[in-house]
């Protein structure tokens, strides 16, 4: 990457920094991170046994189901106690509300404290247009990786 390209990327990242997050939200994000580390991966009953049964979670409903009855040695069920703190639900790992954007006009609907994630299906020309508009509106773009490669 040339010096001019590096300077442009540096200028862009400094111009639109992600909004600051309060200390309470930072604490709750840490709590959520530690909770997720202890949370089991919930799997559909008998999905490990049959290829035709997809592992995505479905509640066991059979009258004789060992998993529904929570017998010892069976996988854990989804329960309310595994839920993350209410104030950080829907936020990304850095504590911001992400909005998926696929065209320039969607940037006008952005609110305070939201950050932009450009859709993966957006091409290079439109991606650069979205980036320019986000720079004008002083919005933070989360996925700059492909844009940085395009500028070089």
Encode pLDDT of 5-43 as tens digits. Answer: 555 555 555 556 777 889 999 999 999 999 999 999 999
Q: What is the pLDDT of residue 47?
A: 96
- The answer to whether the beta carbons of residues 84 and 100 sit under 8 Å apart is no
Compute the distance between CA of residue 115 and CA of residue 49 in angstroms, rounded to an integer. Answer: 42
Average pLDDT in the 34-60 region?
96
Q: What is the pTM of this model?
A: 0.71
State the average pLDDT over residues 98-126: 92
Sign for the CA dihedral angle at 111, 113, 119, 123 comes to: positive
- Band the pLDDT of 146: cuts 50, 70, 90: low
The percent of residues in the chain predicted with pLDDT above 70, rounded, is 85
- State the pLDDT at residue 17: 75
Cα 73 from Cα 82, distance rounded (Å): 19
- Distance from CA of residue 12 to its chain's centroid? 22
């Amino acid at each position: 990457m040339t010096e001019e390209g590096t300077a442009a990327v540096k200028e862009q990242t400094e111009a639109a920094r992600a909004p600051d997050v309060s200390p309470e939200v930072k604490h709750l994000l840490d709590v959520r991170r530690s909770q997720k580390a202890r949370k089991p991966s919930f799997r559909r009953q008998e999905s490990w046994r049959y290829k035709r049964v997809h592992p995505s979670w479905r509640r066991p409903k059979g009258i004789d189901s060992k998993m529904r009855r929570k017998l010892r040695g069976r996988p854990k069920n989804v329960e309310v106690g595994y839920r993350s703190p209410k104030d950080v639900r829907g936020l990304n790992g850095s504590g911001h509300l992400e909005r998926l954007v696929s065209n320039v006009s969607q940037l006008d609907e952005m609110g305070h404290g939201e950050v932009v994630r450009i859709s993966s299906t957006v091409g290079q020309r439109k991606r650069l247009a979205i980036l320019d508009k986000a720079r004008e509106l002083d919005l933070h773009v989360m996925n700059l990786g492909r844009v940085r490669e395009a500028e070089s």
